[in-house]
Copies of this chain bind each other. A is one copy, B any other.
Amino acid sequence: MEKSDFTVLIVGLGLMGGSMAKALAGFKNCRLLGVDTDKDVLSRACQDGVIEKGFVRFEDVDSKLDLIILCIKPGATLSFLQNADIDSKTLVTDVCGVKGYLKEAGAGRNFRYIGGHPMAGREVGGYVNSDAKLFENASYLLTPSKDSKKEDIELLKEMASYIGCRKTVITTEDEHDQMIAYTSQLMHVVASALCDSPFLDRADGFSAGSLRDCTRVAKMDSKMWTELFMANKYCLTECIDSFTDSMNSVKTALINGDADGLHNFLENSCQRKRRYLNEDVAR
């Protein structure tokens, strides 16, 4: 079947962009193009049949584009939205883990932009680790503005479903950043702080599943997460404060020998976790 007129450009063929390109194969029978600064990645993606054509710079792309998906770091995403020369017929989205800092980026520009955030990732990065199944059963967050067109939102929902996401959640940039500060960023800070201990070097033989699971995401792309944390510093700082307050209430109960208080704390959290698990299963 000949390719349709629908052309998608993925900017950045790392873990997210590579996975997106692989998962999008066949979507609307589209032509898939890619931009990456690494020529080897472009050749590899072309050889794999994942993209039809690759470009080192966005400026070199010579086709009319229906959809641009930015799969680059937070700073680069902001810079692209502020500076790239984009046609008014093109819909632009991104996969960046923070949304509020991009709010004003497209102001005054004539292209259409809707922020996106697929809740998926891995501890390893790069095109070499990209996987068409990365988004399976994930949630896809979208942050349309009041000016966003209904058909643009529908297109992105259709795309999210096509790549395997179990649902799309429509939210605002502010709610997104507040929730993500807890559900994702705080977890990464905690995992990292747990590994900031000489005990970890001696833990082999003394550990079981809890150490493995609580510290899993400490193996992270530290440059990317530094950008994400900095771009959401107010929400994240509030989450850290609440969390350390909770830690300190455990400490206080221990010091005071307050077994009942400690038990209440643990049992309340256990119940809340159970409710969360049930909700997640039920929906």
Contacts and interface: CB of A to CB of B under 8 A. Distances in A.
Interface stretch (A10-18, A30-38, A77-85, A233-241): A233-241
Given A141-B206, A196-B268, A214 B211 contact: no
A183 B196 contact: no
A194 interface: yes
A262 B226 contact: yes
Interface string A181-224: 01110111111111111011111111111110111111110110
B203 A190 contact: no
Nearest to A254: B233
A212 to B, nearest CB: 9
A59 interface: no
Interface stretch (A42-50, A65-73, A269-277): A269-277
Given A179-B202, A223-B263, A263-B222, A197 B141 contact: no
A206 B226 contact: no
Given A190-B190, A246-B193, A270 B222 contact: yes
A207 B183 contact: yes
A139 interface: yes
A1 interface: no
Contacts of A220: 266, 270
Interface string A154-187: 0000000000000101010000100110111011
A223 to B, nearest CB: 6
A19 to B, nearest CB: 14
